[in-house]
Amino acid sequence: AQTVTQSQPEMSVQEAETVTLSCTYDTSESDYYLFWYKQPPSRQMILVIRQEAYKQQNATENRFSVNFQKAAKSFSLKISDSQLGDAAMYFCAYRISGTYKYIFGTGTRLKVLA
Partner 1 sequence: GAVVSQHPSRVICKSGTSVKIECRSLDFQATTMFWYRQFPKQSLMLMATSNEGSKATYEQGVEKDKFLINHASLTLSTLTVTSAHPEDSSFYICSARIPRRTSGGISQETQYFGPGTRLLVL
Interface residues with partner 1 (CB under 8 A)?
33, 37, 42-47, 50, 52, 91, 95, 99-107
Is residue 93 a contact partner of residue 39, using CB atoms and an 8 Å limit?
Answer: no
Query: Rounded to the nearest whole angstrom, what is the least distance from the CB of residue 18 to partner 1 in the complex?
Result: 25
- Smaller CB distance to partner 1: residue 64 or 102? 102
12 C-beta neighbours (distance < 10 Å), count? 13
19 C-beta neighbours (distance < 10 Å), count? 20
Radius of gyration of the chain (CA): 14
- Smaller CB distance to partner 1: residue 99 or 114? 99
- Smaller CB distance to partner 1: residue 17 or 93? 93
- Cβ-proximal residues to 19 (8 Å cutoff; 6+ apart), any chain: 11, 13, 78, 79, 82, 110
Query: Rounded to the nearest whole angstrom, what is the least distance from the CB of residue 71 to partner 1 in the complex?
Result: 22
- Smaller CB distance to partner 1: residue 18 or 106? 106
